[in-house]
Amino acid sequence: MKLIHEASEFRKAKLNSTRVITLGFLGAILIGALLLMLPIATVPGEETDFLTALFTATTSICVTGLVVVDTYAHWTFFGQLLILILVQIGGFGVITLYSMGMLALGKRFSLRTRLLIMDYYNLDSIEGLLSFMIRVVKGTLIAEGIGALLYCFCFIPRFGFFKGLWAAIFNAVSAFCNAGMDVMGPDSLIYYQKNIPVNVITMVLIVLGGLGYVVWFDMAAGLRSCREKGFGPRIFLRRLSEQTKLVLILTAVFLVSGTVLVALFEWNNPATIGNLDTGSKILASLFQSVTFRTAGFATVPQEGLTTPTVIAGCLYMLIGGSPVGTAGGIKTVTFFVVFLNIYSFIKDRDEMVVFGRSISPKLINKANAIVTFNVGLTLILVLALIYAEQVPAASAAYEMFSATGTVGLSRGLTSSLHTAGRILVMIGMYAGRIGPISMALFFSTARPDQNSIRHAKGHFIVG
């Protein structure tokens, strides 16, 4: 009877987890919007209407970074603190914070709650969930704390102690959570275009957040084991899981290829990096490649990018970071699985194998569905934005791929949008944070027992 009960709870949890996650983020956004409408959150002489507050709460919770008012100028310290808290909530996820609250209160975790956490982190087992979650929180706070400390040496000399410290903390959280928001001025990090420490600190935080917690913990365990047993780098790499190896390789490939493409397309463009020295051109190209991975910070004016860079940027923003991290997008591994599926079909291979391990048909179907839903929804929103705001196609595409990829890069379009355009961008950011698949499942009326029915095979033709 116990096994039957647990099986029933499992089915219910699988059905309800998507709805809990979807409504959880929506609830956090609405609460954040109401708090941002408080007079204490806005500087004297400015007003915050509901749509502006809702947009700001959405971009914060969804760790996107697109803004309709300047974060540094429109909001008081209280308002900026609220935004930072919303960004941190978005980075952790409402499920993590809810679970940590239960843990702090000494509440027991039911099977349904454990399955909810497992679904949220895309894990394969409920074993060690609480330990995993605690390590996620600790690891995040440590990374952000170190980043803030290092930023202090860059920002305090320019802004003074208190403002510099606040800018360091805000930037560290924003960078690690891949939000791309800052409180330093209207031009993101363009002032620090040639500043190597600021560029490196920001890029490291962005990449760490985008690698994913599973990769973190696997590498930490491998390093600890090799250190204890005296093994060298070769053994360390060999002992990493196939997921970690694939994520590290794909991350390197996308970062290097993005850097090469940006440098190629922008090298002689005076509106971006054309007037810089060679070293600064390479640094700016690398930073742009990193920030395409859902970060939103910029060291070059995005309005000046050439059309080939904009198109390439849309692709990189679509892909995003890696699974179980703070980055958005369809994720690197998802993109690779779809690509490998196409390659396997062309080569007439029945099985997809990576590092000697096969990829299950269910995972392939999931990857195909994620890419199809994400691309389809983004293109629909791009067309709607062009129609609603009468803006150039390139700018609309860049803005919307940035929204659904939760990137935050903008060619100056977001702040000029009217009500319809802002609503479309908010839909894109929200869908990008919870995933278009989750939005579809939220409205799904599928029955749990529908897969027990089998039908005769039909004769259909494709291609």
Average pLDDT over residues 128-145: 87
What pLDDT, on a 0 to 100 scale, did the predictor assign at position 352?
87
Number of domains in the chain: 1
Q: Is the pLDDT of residue 384 over 60?
A: yes
CB-CB contact of 56 with 80 (8 Å): no
**What is the residue-wise DSSP string for 189-249?**
TGGGTT-HHHHHHHHHHHHHHHH-HHHHHHHHHHHHHHHHHT--HHHHHHHS-HHHHHHHH
39 within a domain of the structure (yes/no): yes
Task: Spell out the residues 6+ positions from residue 366 whose beta carbon is closer than 8 angstroms to its own.
Answer: 437
Residue 55 forms part of a structural domain: yes
Q: Is the pLDDT of residue 394 over 70?
A: yes
Is residue 50 in some structural domain? yes
Predicted confidence (pLDDT) per residue in 78-135, tens digit: 999 999 999 999 888 777 777 777 777 777 777 777 777 777 776 767 777 778 888 8
Instruction: Quick: pLDDT tens for 361-381.
Output: 888 988 998 999 999 999 999
The answer to whether the beta carbons of residues 35 and 82 sit under 8 Å apart is yes
Nearest to 52 by CA among 33, 77, 25: 33
Neighbouring CB atoms inside 10 A of 183's CB total 21
Instruction: Judge whether residue 452 has pLDDT over 70.
Output: no
Neighbouring C-alpha atoms within 13 Å toward the C-beta of 303: 5
The pLDDT confidence band at residue 440, using thresholds 50, 70 and 90, is low
Amino acid of residue 105: L
DSSP letter for 42, please. Answer: B
Within a domain: residue 103? Answer: yes
Question: Measuring CA to CA, how many Å separate 97 from each of 85, 90, 91, 117?
Answer: 12, 10, 10, 11
pLDDT at residue 10, rounded to an integer? 47
What is the residue range of 123's domain? Answer: 1-186
How crowded is residue 387: how many other Cβ atoms within 10 Å of its Cβ? Answer: 12
The verdict on residue 150 lying in a domain is yes
Tell me the whole-structure pTM to 2 decimals: 0.89
Residue 7 is predicted with a pLDDT of 46
**pLDDT band of 450, cuts 50, 70, 90:** low
* 278-305: average pLDDT: 94
Q: Confidence class of residue 16 from pLDDT cuts 50, 70 and 90?
A: low
Is 49 a domain residue? yes
pLDDT for 240 beyond 50: yes
The model's pLDDT over 20-45, given as tens digits with 9 standing for 90+, comes to: 778 888 899 999 999 999 999 999 98
Q: Please indicate, yes or no, if residue 192 is contained in any of the structural domains.
A: no
Mean of the per-residue pLDDT values of the chain: 87
Domain assignment present for residue 54? The answer is: yes
pLDDT at 40: 96
- Tens-place pLDDT, residues 148-176: 999 999 999 999 999 999 999 999 999 99
**What is the pLDDT confidence band of residue 393, given thresholds at 50, 70 and 90?**
very high
| 353 three-state secondary structure | strand
